[in-house]
Amino acid sequence: MDISTRLAPGLCLKNPILSASGTFAYGEEFARMFDLSLLGGVVTKGLSLHPKEGNPTPRVCETSCGMLNAIGLENIGVDAFIAQKLPFLGTFDTEVVVNFFGTGEDEYAHMAQKLDIEGVSAIEMNVSCPNIKKGGIEFGKDPKILNRLVAQVRQSTTKPLIVKLSPMVTHIGEMALAAQEGGADALTCSNTFPAMAIDENTWKPILGNITGGLSGPAVKPIALRIVWEVSRQAAIPVIASGGITSWRDVVQFLLAGASAVEIGSFSLRDPLCFGVIIQGLIRYMHDNSLESITEIIGKLRTP
Ligand SMILES: Cc1cc2nc3c(=O)[nH]c(=O)nc-3n(C[C@H](O)[C@H](O)[C@H](O)COP(=O)(O)O)c2cc1C
């Protein structure tokens, strides 16, 4: 049985299961619990050019069927990652996908250049970030700005380039095409959804940042629709992200058109879920006499 999946020229995962950015840090904590080599790939915490402190606490809270986070992209910075974390990730037989972001086009390009090194299998651009020079509008909200950004990053790296889309747009297909035409090799759909929680006793917001990003099972049906829409319009592979907790969810996202999936919030609740989900997928394929996951990808039966 072949559960490998191809995301870009030079990027083939042995299975379609990746960690998601920000819920797996740089892999060290999870490596104490299981062998990271079982994963198709590890996606790192989002990196910036300089270390970033992030938002005031509380930064996370539970909601019905999900969680909110307002970490504020805290990270150790790209240089410390390369020096201190990348060598450790290189000891595993898995693909290392480095998530990153910048404050402007040049910074994104500079980051991509810095990450064009051995040990990095691919880079994943988080475009749900404010463009400081353009009054703070997110890069991922305007197709022209996104297209230019991706094109500049494309010229700065030889690595497979994955663009992680923001779900907060009217026409997600338009954004997907803008990224594809800019030179993206694959698209991750999608990032978290802006949301908030309020304490009725204190009359205060629960998060220090007031608002945060919603993730977990609450967003799964929306993520499924986004993956379906994007994979029908874009010609490049789609990686699903949003609310995945089981092999059943994985099969659903593959049917909707995803070539791989990232598991985020659920791995905070059950760090060992990755192996269980891979085994479940293998059993499902065996029970249904499927020899390759390409027999599932995009095979949704629509009326
Ligand atoms: C605590 C936390 C931190 C996150 N940090 C990042 C990040 O640094 N970069 C990024 O692109 N996405 C980040 N995300 C979004 C996740 O990678 C993922 O796209 C999202 O949570 C949806 O998947 P899930 O429902 O499986 O968690 C973060 C999510 C959480 C919950």
Cα(1) to ligand 1 centroid in Å equals: 31
Q: Atom 9 (ligand 1): residue with closest C-alpha?
A: 46
Centroid of ligand 1 to alpha carbon of 96 (angstroms): 16
Catalytic residues: 129
Domains, the chain, in order of start with CATH, read 5-55+72-194+213-295 (3.20.20.70)
Rounded to an integer, the average pLDDT of 250-276 is 98
Which residue ranges have their beta carbon within 6 Å of ligand 1? 20-23, 45-46, 69, 71, 73, 99, 126, 164, 191-192, 215-216, 219, 241-244, 263-266
Q: Which residues contact 179 (CB under 8 A, 6 or more apart)?
A: 127, 146, 147, 150, 163, 165, 187, 234
Place of tokens 């192996």: 275
Give the tens place of pLDDT for each residue, 176-231.
999 999 999 999 999 999 999 999 999 999 999 999 999 999 999 999 999 999 99
Its pTM stands at: 0.98
Contact assessment for residue 20 and residue 262, using Cβ atoms and an 8 Å cutoff = yes
Give the closest residue (by CA) to ligand 1 atom 22. Answer: 242
pLDDT, tens only, 13-70: 999 999 999 999 999 999 999 999 999 999 999 999 999 999 999 999 999 999 999 9
Atom 31 in ligand 1: residue holding the nearest Cα = 265
> Residue 164, Cβ neighbours under 10 Å: how many?
27
